[in-house]
């Protein structure tokens, strides 16, 4: 490729990465506001936060579209180096996870608006630690993406169970409260929905971590594949993964699709 | 490009499309079983359905990975015709929506297993029509994908509100029931979760319809963009969309990311 064309391509890749980082920061900021709002429901300091989350959403939506545009522009150039190609594929996927976290922040903020009007709303005691675990997962998954850290991404994959355990405990307690005290059914219901939103944010953080590992290592670790290898650090930079015809389960493409 | 290379590429694109269609059919079959199971909870005929849904999940997960592999193999060839490039980008995105519908079918089936053990489970009357609306949306979105029909995809985009209205009505009624009859809190809780799963399946059907329109027309209709144009049939095959630097809101990329 001519040098000037290569330079243009390289600048376009930098732009794509800058867009992703910028979107990641905006989404994290929306999510943090939503989490602050729900764990400090009754605090006057947090009253303005839901409105701020609503204002960020259209901006996040626009970012999603612009990132896809930039990724597709790069693909049109053709003949990209392997790592750039993987970054573009990763961008197309991450983009969606980031936008969904933005949506879930809006859903959480809507729940906060309802809950603030309910005098019987009593925050489940596991909500703050669950929100904190989710916050850490998102922060680490975005950190892994920005710093290309497979190690940080692997930590995220191991945190998902903690969030699920908090969810189970909150569900159990809210169910018990609703059965015993009919007047708290409405707020408990909102907390159940909020817990679901938190759980889904954690799922998207997991996706972001998986896509980051694919981008940096070329290794597909979805659905529990190849994780052992990551921890044992025996994965080489060009290990198979998305390039392989045979999945670890021993199936070939042909067999799966018959 | 040499003729034999072009032929190989064309065969690889056909394979990608065949994989997508096969995955779409498997996912639809899993979802239909889950829907049949939840709307006919007490029927002995449906007792085996949740188990069948669980069995389909690992197969769907494998399909997701193989489709991504095939899409990336094609991207490595470089210099693809515009429509093939869009199909590959579409495949990378659709893949994820299909896999998520498979996951949600599993979540629904898990709810059915719990509900079948609850003597007080009383199916909300709006659940069957809601499930039916969701089934139609998924069927139409996959039909649109397989037959490359923008018109069918547009119909899907217009159905999302119907599903949301059913969700609101079910939530309202379940909340009322839980407040009045403590003994039905547990089943009502499960129906609320199931309603959420249905709503999310509808969201993924909407995504599939949007991605299909992007593939066939090169037009990004996410977040309500460009839909008027679709209905007025004034969209040309090469209309801007993902290729444009300026979004309909009048922003430039630069302004969104500052």
Residues B196, B69, single domain; the answer is yes
Residues B132, B7, single domain; the answer is yes
pLDDT in tens, A45-87: 899 999 999 999 999 999 999 999 999 999 999 888 999 999 9
Q: Is the pLDDT of residue A236 over 50?
A: no
Per the structure, the complete domain to which residue B98 belongs is given by 3-217
Q: How many structural domains compose chain A?
A: 1
Average pLDDT on A126-148 reads 97
Q: Is the pLDDT of residue B249 over 60?
A: no
Q: Please indicate, yes or no, if residue A237 is contained in any of the structural domains.
A: no
Average pLDDT on B225-252 reads 48
Question: Counting beta carbons within 10 angstroms of the beta carbon of residue A199, is it exposed (0 to 12), middle (13 to 18) or buried (19 or more)?
Answer: buried
A247 and B70 within 8 Å at the Cβ level: the answer is no
Across chain B, what does the average pLDDT equal?
88
ipTM value, please give it: 0.86
List chain A residues with CB under 8 Å of B69: 220, 242-245, 253
Question: Counting beta carbons within 10 angstroms of the beta carbon of residue B52, is it exposed (0 to 12), middle (13 to 18) or buried (19 or more)?
Answer: middle
Residues B206, B250, single domain; the answer is no
Residues B163, B258, single domain; the answer is no
Mention every residue, 6+ apart, whose C-beta is less than 8 A from residue B159. B133, B136, B137, B140, B202
pLDDT at B88 (0 to 100) = 95
Q: Please indicate, yes or no, if residue A236 is contained in any of the structural domains.
A: no
The helix or strand, by DSSP H or E, that contains position B147, with its residue range, turns out to be helix B127-147
Provide, rounded to the nearest whole percent, the portion of chain B with pLDDT above 70.
88
The crossing angle, in degrees rounded to 10, of helices A49-77 and B82-115 is 140
Residues B165, B253, single domain; the answer is no
Q: Please indicate, yes or no, if residue A21 is contained in any of the structural domains.
A: yes
A22 and B182 within 8 Å at the Cβ level: the answer is no
- With CA atoms as reference, the chain B residue closest to A251 would be B62
Q: Is the pLDDT of residue A234 over 50?
A: no
Residues B232, B186, single domain; the answer is no
Give B252's strand partners.
B246
Backbone φ and ψ of A119, nearest 5°: -65, -25
Residues B210, B99, single domain; the answer is yes
> Is the distance from CB of B12 to CB of B74 less than 8 angstroms?
yes
> Is the distance from CB of A108 to CB of A200 less than 8 angstroms?
no
State the CATH number of the domain containing residue B49. 1.20.58.220
B85 and A72 within 8 Å at the Cβ level: the answer is yes
Q: Please indicate, yes or no, if residue A151 is contained in any of the structural domains.
A: yes
CA distance B5 to chain A (A): 15
Q: Which residue of B63, B72, B175 is in closest CB contact with A257?
A: B63
* Minimum mean pLDDT range among B3-12, B74-83, B232-241: B232-241
Residues B233, B107, single domain; the answer is no
pLDDT at B255 (0 to 100) = 67
pLDDT at B230 (0 to 100) = 65
Mention every residue, 6+ apart, whose C-beta is less than 8 A from residue B2. none
Q: Please indicate, yes or no, if residue A133 is contained in any of the structural domains.
A: yes
Residues B154, B232, single domain; the answer is no
Q: How big is the A-B interface in CB pairs under 8 Å?
A: 147
Q: Is the pLDDT of residue A240 over 50?
A: no
């Amino acid at each position: 490729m001519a040098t000037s064309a290569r330079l243009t391509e390289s600048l376009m890749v930098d732009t794509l990465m800058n867009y992703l980082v910028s979107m990641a920061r905006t989404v994290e900021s929306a999510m943090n506001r939503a989490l602050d709002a729900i764990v400090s429901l009754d605090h006057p300091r947090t009253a303005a936060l839901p409105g701020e989350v609503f204002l960020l959403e259209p901006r996040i939506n626009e970012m999603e579209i612009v990132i896809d545009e930039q990724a597709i522009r790069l693909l049109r150039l053709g003949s990209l180096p392997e790592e750039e190609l993987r970054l573009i594929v990763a961008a197309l996927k991450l983009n969606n996870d980031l936008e969904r976290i933005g949506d879930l922040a809006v859903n959480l903020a809507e729940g906060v608006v309802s809950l603030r009007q309910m005098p019987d709303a009593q925050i489940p005691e596991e909500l703050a630690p669950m929100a904190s675990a989710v916050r850490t997962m998102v922060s680490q998954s975005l950190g892994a993406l920005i710093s290309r850290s497979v190690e940080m991404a692997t930590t995220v994959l191991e945190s998902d169970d903690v969030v699920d355990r908090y969810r189970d405990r909150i569900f159990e307690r809210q169910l018990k409260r609703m059965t015993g005290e009919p007047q708290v059914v409405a707020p408990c219901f909102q907390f159940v929905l909020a817990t679901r939103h938190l759980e889904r944010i954690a799922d998207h953080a997991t996706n972001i971590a998986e896509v980051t590992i694919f981008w940096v290592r070329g290794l597909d670790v979805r659905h529990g594949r190849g994780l052992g290898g990551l921890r044992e650090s025996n994965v080489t930079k060009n290990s198979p993964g998305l390039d392989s015809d045979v999945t670890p389960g021993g199936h070939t493409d042909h067999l799966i699709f018959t």
